[in-house]
């Protein structure tokens, strides 16, 4: 019975929250908040329990690739199943998502107008995210992926700011373009999922086991799936939805989008593109490696000259997420572990950034750093939060970014060929460029004299804002201080992928 599997509750809880929200009256803001907080808290608790369960199961010697597997067929003609299962990577991604949903609820505490509808879409999006991470069936994954994408259009289009219609349209269309490629890829994989004469399957583990996708087909399917997910992962040159999209999105949506949704891209790249098509990955991975290498430096340099806080962060995300895909394409355990650490780190840190930007914007009504200054004197709490987020972003030891980036660099440097070495060195230069743009924005925004006299009357963070930011800061510090705890959960999940890559001569 599938309901005895705890994983399914990661989908059921958001759906129940949806139901609860639907029952609230349009005017009852308090009830809406209560339901949203309850839903988010339950998710956090479930996620923590899941981590504990995972650690315990692994400690007890359960070495199966995916834990907590169960499946229900829901469309027999195409062998589509609701197949669940998790490994270390999914566990930490679920944990990350739960924390960001939790923080996001508090960050949108005063959401106006239509709070009820906002949270409805917000939780629908969360449903998709969790569903994606717990599925191991290609089609189910794809379905949840779409569930996560579509609400974005409305969330930005209705609750956004600035040129929101354009941004929402652009973001949705570009990501839909990615989905189209992905759909093609998945269909292709499905029809080659099993050797001749055996029933086809959508189950990722079975496809990997069969290893039946012909090499010449992998040349087509790998780019389709990798680019499909890569668009969501903001890979150069398919990243342009990100700056506009983030700039227009409301705070909590930016948080969830940069914090979790962009991670679906990296996760999908490794779980589907590389794992299922290792041959093509080793043969033509270098093309994408070059693109991600460009992403890292390109995003960082672009961020240096932006004046809108959200644009700075969007470009910074291009750089940091580029690092994720870059590390995944390095095909070794260390670098890939670093990639997941970077996803966690970037998720929390960027969510923190967007939360703070939202809070600052809510007060000053501008995101242009040229119009602000000296905010540290006026809102020290938000200022300190911003500095911490900045330091995490530029890689201060003790905060999350450092551990993740170092793991990536040292993992990438394990390769001895000049091409990868040079790319690694190029990627490392981002630590300097990141420092440049982070310190630039911190210096202009928080330090110096107060630019606008009206800003002097502004107030510092209130309780729900503090709760939201503290949650994220604690997460950032936890990863930064005890990275090995997370790395050990993640590391061995890459054994099957690395094995598969080795088998084709990586």
Partner 1 sequence: MPLSYTILVIAIPLLMFLFLGLAGVKMGKKLTGVLGVCAMGVTTVIAYAVALTYFFGTGDGQIVDGVRQQLVLNDWTWLKFSENLVVKLGVLLDPISAMMLIVITTVSFMVHLYSLGYMSDHHGKPEKGFQRYYAFLALFTFSMLGLVVSTNIFQMFIFFEMVGVSSYLLIGFYYTSPAAVHASKKAFIVTRLADLFFLIGIMVLSFYTSTFDFKALMANPTNALASAQGATFMGCSVMAWALTCIFIGGAGKSAMYPLHIWLPDAMEGPTPVSALIHAATMVVAGVYLIARMFPLYVLEQGAMDIICVVGAFTAFYAAAIACVQSDIKRALAFSTISQIAFMMTSLAVSTADGALIEIHEGYGLGYMASMFHLFTHAMFKALLFLCAGAIIHAVHSNENSDMHGLHKFMPITSIAFLIGCLAIAGIPPFAGFWSKDEILVACYAKGMGWGLWMSMVAGLTAFYMFRIYFLIFFWKKHEIHTEHAPADQPWTMTLPLIILAAISIVAGFVPAGELVTWDGAHLHTQLNWSVAGASVLIALVGIGLAFKLYYKENELPEKMKNALPNLWEAAYRRFYMDELYQFITHKVIFQNISKPIAWFDRHIIDGTMNLLGDVTNSASYAIRRLQSGSIQGYVFVYLVGALLIAAVTMICVMI
- Given the rule CB under 8 A, which residues bind partner 1? 170, 173-174, 237, 239-241, 298, 301-302, 304-306, 333-334, 374, 376-377, 391, 394-398, 402-403, 406-407, 409-411, 413-414, 424-425, 428-429, 431-432, 435-436, 439-440, 443, 446-449, 483-484, 487-488, 491
Shortest distance, position 409 Cβ to partner 1, whole Å: 6
Shortest distance, position 174 Cβ to partner 1, whole Å: 7
Residue 206 or 308: the one with the smaller Cβ distance to partner 1 is 308
CB-based burial label for 124 (10 Å; 0-12, 13-18, 19+):
buried
Give Cβ neighbours of residue 371 (< 8 Å, ≥ 6 apart): 364, 451, 452
Query: Are 316 and 393 in contact, with CB atoms under 8 Å apart?
Result: yes
Residue 81: its H or E element:
strand 80-86
List beta partners, residue 81: 73
Residue 286 or 301: the one with the smaller Cβ distance to partner 1 is 301
Shortest distance, position 329 Cβ to partner 1, whole Å: 18
Shortest distance, position 170 Cβ to partner 1, whole Å: 7
Shortest distance, position 424 Cβ to partner 1, whole Å: 8
Find where tokens 């990350």 sit.
96
Residue 31 or 431: the one with the smaller Cβ distance to partner 1 is 431
Residue 104 or 411: the one with the smaller Cβ distance to partner 1 is 411
Between CA 423 and CA 322 the distance in angstroms is 12
Shortest distance, position 472 Cβ to partner 1, whole Å: 17
Nearest CA to 7 among 104, 122, 134?
Answer: 134
Nearest CA to 345 among 295, 402, 387, 297?
Answer: 402
Shortest distance, position 70 Cβ to partner 1, whole Å: 32
Between CA 407 and CA 131 the distance in angstroms is 29
Give Cβ neighbours of residue 29 (< 8 Å, ≥ 6 apart): 115
Between CA 39 and CA 203 the distance in angstroms is 30
Shortest distance, position 163 Cβ to partner 1, whole Å: 12
Residue 53 or 301: the one with the smaller Cβ distance to partner 1 is 301
Q: Where are the alpha helices (DSSP H) in 160-261?
A: 164-191, 204-210, 215-232, 241-248, 251-256
- Number of other CB atoms surrounding residue 180 within 10 Å: 12
């Amino acid at each position: 019975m599938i309901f005895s599997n705890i994983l399914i509750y990661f989908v059921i809880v958001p759906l129940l929250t949806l139901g609860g929200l639907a029952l609230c009256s349009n005017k009852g803001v308090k009830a809406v908040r209560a339901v949203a907080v309850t839903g988010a808290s339950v998710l956090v608790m479930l996620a923590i329990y899941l981590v504990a369960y995972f650690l315990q199961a692994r400690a007890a010697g359960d070495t199966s690739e995916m834990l907590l597997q169960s499946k229900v067929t829901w469309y027999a003609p195409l062998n589509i199943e609701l197949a669940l299962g998790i490994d270390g990577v999914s566990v930490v991604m679920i944990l990350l998502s739960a924390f960001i949903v939790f923080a996001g609820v508090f960050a949108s505490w005063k959401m106006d107008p239509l709070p009820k509808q906002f949270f409805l879409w917000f939780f629908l999006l969360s449903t998709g995210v969790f569903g994606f991470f717990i599925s191991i069936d290609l089609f189910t994954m794809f379905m949840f992926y779409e569930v996560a994408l579509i609400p974005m259009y409305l969330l930005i289009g209705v609750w956004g700011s600035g040129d929101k219609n354009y941004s929402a349209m652009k973001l949705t269309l570009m990501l839909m373009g990615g989905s189209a490629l992905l759909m093609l890829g998945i269909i292709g994989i499905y029809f080659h999922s099993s050797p001749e004469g055996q029933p086809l399957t959508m189950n990722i583990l079975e496809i990997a086991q069969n290893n039946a996708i012909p090499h010449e087909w992998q040349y087509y399917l790998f780019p389709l799936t990798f680019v499909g997910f890569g668009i969501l992962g903001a890979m150069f040159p398919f990243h342009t939805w990100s700056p506009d999209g983030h700039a227009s999105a409301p705070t909590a949506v930016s948080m969830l989008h940069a914090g979790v949704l962009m991670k679906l891209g990296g996760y999908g790249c490794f779980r589907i593109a590389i794992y299922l098509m290792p041959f093509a990955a080793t043969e033509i991975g270098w093309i994408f490696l070059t693109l991600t290498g460009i992403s890292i430096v390109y995003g960082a340099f672009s961020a240096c000259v932006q004046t809108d806080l959200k644009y700075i962060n969007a470009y910074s995300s291009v750089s940091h997420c580029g690092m994720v895909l870059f590390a995944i394409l390095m095909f070794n355990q260390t670098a890939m572990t670093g990639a997941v650490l970077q996803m966690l780190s970037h998720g929390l840190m960027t969510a923190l950034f967007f939360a703070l930007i939202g809070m600052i914007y809510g007060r000053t009504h501008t995101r242009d750093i040229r119009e602000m200054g000296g905010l540290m004197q006026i809102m020290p709490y938000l200022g300190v939060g911003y500095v911490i987020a900045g330091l995490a972003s530029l890689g201060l030891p003790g905060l999350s970014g450092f551990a993740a980036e170092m793991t990536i660099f040292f993992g990438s440097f394990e390769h001895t060929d000049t091409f990868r070495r040079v790319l690694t060195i190029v990627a490392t230069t981002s630590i300097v460029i990141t420092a440049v743009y982070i310190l630039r924005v911190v210096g202009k925004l928080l330090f110096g004299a107060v630019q606008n006299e009206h800003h002097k009357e502004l107030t510092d963070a209130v309780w729900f804002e503090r709760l939201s930011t503290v949650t994220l800061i604690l997460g950032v510090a936890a990863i930064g201080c005890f990275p090995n705890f997370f790395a050990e959960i993640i590391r061995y999940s890459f054994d099957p992928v690395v094995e598969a890559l080795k088998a084709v001569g990586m």
